Amino acid sequence: MNEKVKPFEEKMKKTVVTLMEEYASIRAGRANPHLLDKIKVDYYGQPSPLQAVANVSVPEARVIQIQPWESSLIKEIEKAIIASDLGLNPGNDGKVIRLVFPELTEDRRKELVKDIKKKAENAKVAVRNIRRDANDVIKKLGKSNEISEDAVTEIEDEIQKVTDKYIAEIDKLTDDKAKEILTV
């Protein structure tokens, strides 16, 4: 691979990784502990990740159980979950917090799939913008005679192949996530 293409491929890879993280936070009716990855809990005045102050487990398909290391944190954890945009109501028995995921309705599933496709389209636009920026840089190098016309064409072809690869990866991720959500 040409050295001039590498930084742009890295940017495309980051776009795909970001999309994967966004997809991980979309709930499909099943309990997924990664939904809680972005939640921060006030721990002695320090915002700390939920996983750092509690044990997070999935005892049943649609239940996440959170057991704080210190029972005094239960209220803080509940506040953090309610403040997040997960739309879940935590229930606690004084020792553990349980998040129960309701079964998704058909309409909600279709809404989620639309949202997934919208996120995918945004990721594709980002990848295409990176391709455009890469081509602009390569053309400038060609105009300033730093690289030959043949090299410009060769590098542009390589950039297009890398772009196609990441667009295909986005499509596959999107199809997989849509199937996961539509599966009852």
pTM of the model as a whole: 0.69
- Please give the Cα distance from 95 to 92 (Å, whole number): 7
| Structural domain contains residue 1 | no
Which amino acid would we find at residue 19? Answer: L
Residues 74 and 143 in one domain: no
Cβ within 8 Å of residue 61, ≥6 positions away: 30, 31
Residues 131 and 82 in one domain: no
- How does pLDDT run across 83-127, given as a tens digit for each residue? 877 777 888 888 888 888 777 788 888 888 898 999 999 999 999
Q: Which domain holds residue 142?
A: 6-24+105-182
Residues 124 and 169 in one domain: yes
Taking only the tens of pLDDT, the chain with its 184 residues reads 678 888 999 999 999 999 988 887 776 666 777 778 888 888 888 888 888 888 988 888 788 898 998 888 888 888 888 887 777 788 888 888 888 877 778 888 888 889 899 999 999 999 999 999 999 999 998 888 888 888 889 999 999 999 999 999 999 999 998 888 887 6
Q: Average pLDDT over the chain, rounded to whole?
A: 86
| Structural domain contains residue 63 | yes
Residues 125 and 94 in one domain: no
Handedness of CA 138, 142, 148, 154 (dihedral sign): positive
Q: How far is CA 110 from CA 53, 135, 149, 178, 181, in A?
A: 35, 37, 49, 9, 8
